Amino acid sequence: MVKAVLGVIGGSGIYDLPGLREVRWQKVESPWGEPSDALCFGTLGDLPMVFLPRHGRGHRIPPGEINYRANIDALKRAGVTDVVSLSACGSLRADLAPGMFVLVDQYIDRTVARAKSFFGTGCVAHVAFGDPVSPRLLDRLEAAARAEAIALHRGGTYLAMEGPQFSTLAESRLYREWGCAVIGMTNMPEAKLAREAELCYASVAMVTDYDSWHEDHGTVDVAKILAVMHANADSAKRLVARLAADFPAEHEPCPIGSDTALTYAIITAPEARDPALLRKLDAVAGRVLG
């Protein structure tokens, strides 16, 4: 069995968990460029954990300029087996109020200007993504939230928009008609790349506002969002701490095959593969490329 290492992608403050030991920040080099920041390594109980500030410490990097490939590659190189993504989101449903956490299980990708795959000319791969979230991770997150009395809704579609501007009223209404639950700017292509890297992945959408569709709330108010974000941060820390406390020491095989996604995905014949690209894929696809 493979030893479990929990990776957490999120904002500042999550990595100062009470009880987190042996904390060190370490820069991890990636052939895909610079990750958002150094990685924060630590141990909670007996569980190794790795934290990555998605926007960099101090929130320096906007959603559209995050190097998602370098971030996922760095986590893979750090030995991470399971990734929990924490992100602020707008709600597209009246029952998902600010302060509530939503365990996302589907995505609609409306981003247009981001590199979305580790693969390309010289090594083509097509991974299955019909079930984009690891159900076992969702089970553990739900149990942790219930144990901490955190307001939670399981299930819902995350609409990933390009940003950095918020939605127009027309867009917000359209996404509601599509049946989306929350809207954000960061989970794509993060989730797709995690699947290509054979990492189990789950999203926790932390609702901060009602986007722009709600008649009683009007357009998005950034000051109000920041206030809710600060309140959500404490709940996020409690969620991660409880999740880590109850996490298994050995990585559990994913029931939907997240951790074996590349077994049959690479299409390019061995003799036609680009050696330079293969070298960049050493961490992401090393299991199947040898």
**Residue 214 confidence (pLDDT) above 90:** no
**What pTM does this model have?**
0.95
Q: Which amino acid belongs to residue 108?
A: I
Is 186 annotated as ligand-binding?
A: yes
Active site residue 209: yes
Report the candidate in 104, 111, 100 with the shortest Cα–Cα distance to residue 157. Answer: 104
Cα-only R_g, the chain = 18
What pLDDT was estimated at residue 45?
87
Burial tier of 61 (Cβ tally within 10 Å: 0-12, 13-18, 19+) = middle
Neighbours of 146 (CB within 10 A): 11
Mean pLDDT (whole number) for 246-257: 95
Query: Mind listing the pLDDT tens digit for each residue in 152-204?
Result: 999 999 999 999 999 999 999 999 999 999 999 999 999 999 999 999 999 99
Q: Which two tokens stand for residue 86?
A: 């924490």
Q: 38 with 50: CB under 8 angstroms? A: no
Q: 167 among the known binding-site residues?
A: no
From residue 127, how far is each of 65, 209, 266, 281 by CA, in Å?
24, 34, 8, 15
Catalytic one of 37, 209, 246, 282: 209
pLDDT band, residue 216 (cuts 50/70/90): low
- Sign, Cα dihedral of 267, 271, 272, 276: positive
**pLDDT band at 279; cut points 50, 70, 90:** very high
How far apart are alpha carbons 154 and 190 in whole angstroms?
A: 20
Residue 270, number of CB atoms within 10 A of its CB? 10
Contact 102, 181 (CB under 8 A): yes
pLDDT surpassing 60 at residue 217: no
For residue 14, what are the contacts with CB-CB under 8 A and spacing of at least 6?
A: 8, 51, 86, 233, 236, 237, 240
**DSSP per residue, 67-79:** -HHHHHHHHHHTT
Whether 87 has a binding-site annotation, put simply, is yes
Q: Establish whether 55 is an annotated binding residue.
A: yes
Render pLDDT for 264-273 as a digit per residue (tens, 0 to 9).
999 999 999 9
Max Cα separation, the chain?
61
Mean per-residue pLDDT, 211-226: 69
Please confirm, yes or no, whether 211 is among the known catalytic residues: yes
User: In Å, what is the CA distance from 192 to each residue of 73, 104, 106, 132?
Assistant: 12, 14, 11, 8
Catalytic residue among 211, 234, 246, 274: 211
Please write the tens of the pLDDT for every residue from 72-87: 999 999 999 999 999 9
Q: What is the pLDDT of residues 94-117, one digit of tens each?
A: 999 999 999 999 999 999 999 999
pLDDT tens for each residue of 13-28: 677 777 899 999 999 9
pLDDT the model gives residue 26: 98
Q: Candidates 3.40.50.1580, 1.10.150.20, 3.40.50.1100, 3.40.50.740; correct CATH number of 86-289? A: 3.40.50.1580
Share of the chain above pLDDT 90, in %: 86
Spell out the domain ranges in the chain: 86-289
DSSP β-bridge partners for residue 81:
none
Q: Evaluate whether 219 touches 243 at the Cβ level (below 8 Å).
A: no
User: Please, are residues 11 and 24 in contact by the beta-carbon 8 Å criterion?
Assistant: no
Q: Is 88 flagged in the annotation as binding?
A: yes
What is the pLDDT, as a whole number, of residue 15?
73
Joined tokens for residue 164 = 């950095």
CB 209 within 8 A of CB 98: yes
For residues 140-145, average pLDDT: 98
Does 205 score more than 60 pLDDT?
A: yes
